[in-house]
Structure 1
Amino acid sequence: MTNEEILAEFKASEALLEGHFILSSGLRSSRYLQCARVLMNPARAARLAEALAASIPENIRNQINAVIAPAMGGVIIGHEMGRALGVDAMFVERPTGTFELRRGFRITPGAKILMVEDVVTTGLSSREAMIAIKAAGGEVIAAASLVDRSNGSADLGVPFFPLIRLDVPSYAPDALPPELAAIPAIKPGSRAEPAAA
Structure 2
Amino acid sequence: MIIDILKNSKALLEGHFLLSSGMHSNRYCQCAKVLEDPKEAEKVLENVATQLKDIEFDVVVGPAMGGILVAYELARQLQKTCIFTERQDGKMTLKRGFELKKGEKVIISEDVVTTGKSFKETEEVIKSYGAEVVAVACIVDRSNGIIHERPLYSAIKLNVDNYDSDNCPLCKKGIPYIKPGSRDIK
- The TM-score normalised by the length of structure 2 is 0.92
Q: Distance in 1 between matches of 2:24 and 2:109?
A: 24
Pairing partner for 2:118 from 95, 117, 125: 125
2:106 aligns with: 113
2:167 aligns with: 175
Aligned-residue Cα RMSD (Å) equals 1.9
How far does residue 191 in structure 1 lie from its aligned partner after superposition?
A: 4.8
User: Residue type of the partner of 2:78?
Assistant: L
User: Residue type of the partner of 1:166?
Assistant: L
Alignment of 1:148-163 (within 5 A): 148-155=141-148, 157-163=149-155
Contact 2:17 2:177 in 1 (8 A): yes
How far does residue 178 in structure 1 lie from its aligned partner after superposition?
A: 5.9
| Moved beyond 6 Å, runs of 4+ | none
- Give 3-state SS (helix, strand or coil) of 2:166's partner: coil
1:165 paired with 2:161, answer no
User: Residue type of the partner of 1:20?
Assistant: H
Pairing partner for 1:72 from 58, 65, 70: 65
Pairing partner for 2:11 from 12, 15, 25: 15
- Give 3-state SS (helix, strand or coil) of 2:122's partner: helix
How far does residue 179 in structure 1 lie from its aligned partner after superposition?
A: 9.0
Distance 1:97 1:34, change over 3 A: same
Pairing partner for 2:75 from 50, 73, 82: 82
- Give 3-state SS (helix, strand or coil) of 2:88's partner: coil
Instruction: Note the alpha carbon deviations across 1:69-122, whole angstroms, 9 max, x for none.
Output: 101110001100110110011001111222111111122221111111111111
Distance 1:144 1:180, change over 3 A: farther
How far does residue 190 in structure 1 lie from its aligned partner after superposition?
A: 2.8
User: Residue type of the partner of 1:110?
Assistant: G
Number of equivalences: 185
- Give 3-state SS (helix, strand or coil) of 1:46's partner: helix
User: Residue type of the partner of 2:22?
Assistant: G
Q: Percent identity?
A: 45
2:50 aligns with: 54
How far does residue 181 in structure 1 lie from its aligned partner after superposition?
A: 2.5
- Give 3-state SS (helix, strand or coil) of 1:38's partner: helix
- Give 3-state SS (helix, strand or coil) of 1:64's partner: coil
- Give 3-state SS (helix, strand or coil) of 1:185's partner: coil
Contact 2:92 2:122 in 1 (8 A): yes
Which structure ranks higher in relative contact order (CA pairs < 8 Å, sequence separation ≥ 6)? 2
How far does residue 149 in structure 1 lie from its aligned partner after superposition?
A: 0.8
1:39 paired with 2:30, answer no
Pairing partner for 1:24 from 20, 44, 49: 20
Q: Which runs of 5+ in 2 are unaligned?
A: none
Q: Distance in 1 between matches of 2:60 and 2:70?
A: 10
2:182 aligns with: 190
